[in-house]
Amino acid sequence: MAVSRRAFLLGASALLAGCQTNHSKDKANYAAQTTEPYPLPAMSLEKIKPELRRTEVDYPTSQAAGTVVVDTPARRLYYVLGGGRAIRYAVSVGREGLELRGNAHVGRKAEWPTWTPTANMIRREPAKYGPLAGGMPGGPNNPLGARAMYLYRGGNDIHFRIHGTNQPQSIGYAMSSGCIRMLNHDVIDLYSRVSVGDKVVVLQA
């Protein structure tokens, strides 16, 4: 069936408007964070593939609103909004053999957190992590980035975190020591939505 020139132009205009709207949202999502203790510059959208950018998506699930779902194989994290919708974030997950398994809940939260390598990390790579056994203060060089949500199970810290990163190039890959990494701009957004006690569901292949 032939498509009229008018219908074609209307469709093209709607598509262009949608693209401009998405671009505007992306620019706002990754704009400079000037009120932070360690201000974050705007992220260049050229350095964030479209599929890795934060966005609201359709997400039918039986999980309640406020649940965090980590889809490990897809390297995506969803914050369930309810009504079949969620905020989708790209993440980096643990290398093979170091993945987070099972469900948990957010036991505590911290802004620009101190980072201390776990005993297992020090044991695996003593030369790299041994000197940091006393902890590293929060800041732009800290591997936990701008925010951290500490995961607990049965009232105990399981030493896995959802956190920011100073290695944005790792997002979308399985490169971490087991924790869930997010872009600093994204983890700040998630942190503002999540409360202590919220459920975290981890999906494996």
Q: What is the pTM of this model?
A: 0.85
Active-site hit among 19, 23, 105, 179: 179
Quick check: is 25 in a domain?
no
Please count the other Cβ atoms lying within 10 Å of the Cβ belonging to residue 169: 10
Quick check: is 10 in a domain?
no
- Alpha-carbon distances of 121 from 38, 68, 113, 117, rounded to whole Å: 27, 26, 18, 6
Quick check: is 18 in a domain?
no
Active-site hit among 19, 23, 105, 163: 163
Quick check: is 11 in a domain?
no
- How many domains does the chain divide into? 1
Give tens-digit pLDDT for 69-104: 999 999 999 999 999 999 999 999 876 545 677 899
179 a catalytic residue: yes
Quick check: is 136 in a domain?
yes
Q: What is the CATH number of the domain that holds 70?
A: 2.40.440.10
Quick check: is 97 in a domain?
yes
19 a catalytic residue: no
In this structure, the dihedral spanned by the alpha carbons of residues 192, 156, 95 and 181, taken in order and rounded to 10 degrees, is 10
Quick check: is 100 in a domain?
yes
Quick check: is 61 in a domain?
yes
Domain that holds residue 113: 31-203
List the pLDDT tens digit at each of the 205 positions of the chain. 455 665 544 454 544 555 556 789 999 999 999 999 999 999 999 989 999 999 999 999 999 999 999 999 999 999 999 999 999 999 998 765 456 778 999 999 999 999 888 788 889 899 988 998 888 899 999 999 999 999 999 999 998 999 999 999 999 988 776 689 999 999 999 999 999 999 999 988 7
